[in-house]
Amino acid sequence: MVEAKRLKNYLLYAIGEIILVVLGILIAVAINNNNETKKVEADTLTVAKQIESKLVSDIQLISEVRTAIEVESDKYNRYLKKDKSDKERLEVLLEAPFLVTLSIQLLPINPISDSKLNEAISSKTELSDKLIEIEEDYNAIIIGLRLMDNTITKELISNLNHIKENYDWYEKLIIPNSNFTVDEYKYFGSTDYKNRVVHMKFLYADGYDGMLLDVQSSLKQKLEELRGLLRE
Residue-by-residue DSSP string for the chain:
-HHHHHHHHHHHHHHHHHHHHHHHHHHHHHHHHHHHHHHHHHHHHHHHHHHHHHHHHHHHHHHHHHHHHHHHHHHHHHHH-SS--HHHHHHHHHHGGGTTTT------------TTHHHHGGG--HHHHHHHHHHHHHHHHHHHHHHHHHHHHHHHHHHHHHHHHH-TTTHHHHSTT----HHHHGGGGSHHHHHHHHHHIIIIIIIIHHHHHHHHHHHHHHHHHHHHHHH-
- Is the pLDDT assigned to residue 117 strictly greater than 70? no
Percent of all residues in the chain with a pLDDT value above 90, rounded to a whole number: 50
Q: What is the pLDDT of residue 12?
A: 65
- Dist. CA 53–CA 211, nearest whole Å: 22
Mean pLDDT of the chain: 85
pLDDT digit string (tens) for 39-81?
Answer: 667 778 888 898 999 999 999 999 999 999 999 999 999 999 9
Instruction: Single out the residue of 114, 99, 139 nearest to residue 48, CA to CA.
Output: 114
pLDDT-derived band at 29 (thresholds 50, 70, 90) equals: low
Q: What is the pLDDT of residue 30?
A: 59
The reported pTM is 0.80
- Is the pLDDT assigned to residue 116 strictly greater than 60? no
